[in-house]
Structure formats: structure tokens, C-alpha cells
Chain A
Amino acid sequence: DGGITQSPKYLFRKEGQNVTLSCEQNLNHDAMYWYRQDPGQGLRLIYYSQIVNDFQKGDIAEGYSVSREKKESFPLTVTSAQKNPTAFYLCASSTPGRVEGYTFGSGTRLTVV
């Protein structure tokens, strides 16, 4: 079955450490996205990529980095520069135009300890 796999489901990080969240899709979607969800807020866009080897910053890109070396993969690195990294992170993919919206992964909950 096609879908998006995010790993790990739960992640703990010490302050000052970088951490990378994995996102893999086998839907043959060109576009991939990273969102962050905080309590009481809508999903906020961190980075998105419409095509391999290209990506753009979203609304809250500071303290994050991404790469898109393969169509199937869009890993997100939360760097030590991110001041408030504890959140629920969602990866998504879509076809061009997003007529049927996104397909989301099940998310990664990152906690900084």
C-alpha cells in the first residue's frame, strides 16, 4: 500500500543537539512538505519541496533545514538554533495542484529534555 512513513514516532533530544526526522513516501508524489503542530494552533509550514533538489522555506523555517536528494525522501533536521523545538511534526506529500489535499504521515513527537 502506498503511503508516507515518518520515523521515529517519538523522539527525545537534549538541548543543543541537532536531530533529523525521517519522511519517506512511495506515492510517487512530486511535492513534499513539513508542518509543525502546536496546541491550539493550525499546522504551520516549515519547508516544502516541489521537485527533487529544490525546496523553499515556509512560514517558520528558522532553526530547521531540509534536503531533497530523492523523490521519495524529505528529511527534516531540527537544529540547535530552533528555540522551541518541542512539538508534533507532520510530513505530507501531494500531487501538483493538491486537488485532493495532502497525504500525511502519522507524525513525530519531538521533546527536548
Chain B
Amino acid sequence: DQQVKQNSPSLSVQEGRISILNCDYTNSMFDYFLWYKKYPAEGPTFLISISSIKDKNEDGRFTVFLNKSAKHLSLHIVPSQPGDSAVYFCEASEDYGQNFVFGPGTRLSVLP
């Protein structure tokens, strides 16, 4: 049973438009969420995080939104750039770091 789901295996977006990547979770005890970006043949790199006491966190072109009642978080990239093309993983954890679970990832392609 997947506790963290990313239902879109892939997403294509035109350069300059908004990319929205979604992540759903089932465990209401999760209280800290992170997004990672992964290029081929490299390890994931940390992108942005949000704790359950917030519903939005912004860092430059990247914004993460958390809807606790729906157990849903999303990553918005505005404007999308070709260099954003990568696989994006969401991670959820309890107690700010314990019981961490990754989603399967969404491959984003930003088309020039």
C-alpha cells in the first residue's frame, strides 16, 4: 500500500508556463514534506520543504502548497525552464524526519 502517491508518471509543459506537480498521502501523521529534483545518473537534490504548520512555502520560482485536509501537496514552478526537466520526488515524514516515505516520482519535460 503506497503511503505517498504521485499519480502522474510524466508531465510536459511549454517553457514559460506553469508546471504543477502533485503528491497525495494517506498517513495523517505525516507532518513534514519535501520535494527533490533528480537528473539522470545523478542523486536527487533537495528543492523545497514545508511543515504541516504552514500551507505554503515559496523559494524563487518554486512554491509548495499543502492541503492537510485533502492530504495533498503540490509543487508549482513558475515560469518553467528547460533546465527544470527532471524527475521530481515528494517525500513525507512523521516527527520531522522519522518514518519517511518517498513517492514514485513524476518526470517533468519542459519544452522550448
Q: A40-B9, A42-B4 given as contacts; is B102 within 8 A of A102 (CB)?
A: no
Cα(A41)–Cα(B104), bound, Å: 4
Q: Is A74 an interface residue (CB 8 A)?
A: no
A105 touches B43 (CB 8 A): yes
| Interface-located stretch among B12-20, B68-76, B89-97 | B89-97
Interface of B: prevailing SS: strand
Give chain A residues whose Cβ lies under 8 Å from the Cβ of B45. 104
Give chain A residues whose Cβ lies under 8 Å from the Cβ of B9. 40
Name the interface residues of A1-60: CB closer than 8 Å to any CB of B: 4, 6, 9, 35, 40-45
Contact with A along B78-105 (1 / 0, CB 8 A): 0000000000010101001100111111
- Say which size band chain B's interface belongs to: 20 to 34
Residues of chain A at interface, number, CB under 8 A: 26
Cα(A106)–Cα(B43), bound, Å: 4
Cα(A64)–Cα(B97), bound, Å: 23
A40 touches B100 (CB 8 A): no
B36 touches A106 (CB 8 A): no
Give chain B residues whose Cβ lies under 8 Å from the Cβ of A45. 100
Interface residues of B (CB under 8 A from A): 2, 4, 9, 32, 34, 36, 41-46, 49, 89, 91, 93, 96-97, 100-105
Cα(A33)–Cα(B86), bound, Å: 23
Pick the residue among B34, B41, B93, B102 that contacts A42 (CB under 8 A): B102
Pick the residue among A44, A94, A107 that contacts B43 (CB under 8 A): A107
Q: For B43, B91, B101, which residue has the most chain A Cβ atoms within 10 angstroms?
A: B43
11 chain-A/chain-B pairs, Cβ below 8 angstroms = A42-B2, A42-B4, A42-B89, A42-B105, A43-B102, A44-B102, A98-B96, A101-B34, A101-B46, A106-B42, A107-B42
Pick the residue among A6, A9, A42, A101 that contacts B104 (CB under 8 A): A42
A40 touches B41 (CB 8 A): no
B46 touches A42 (CB 8 A): no
Give chain A residues whose Cβ lies under 8 Å from the Cβ of B43. 4, 6, 90-92, 104-107
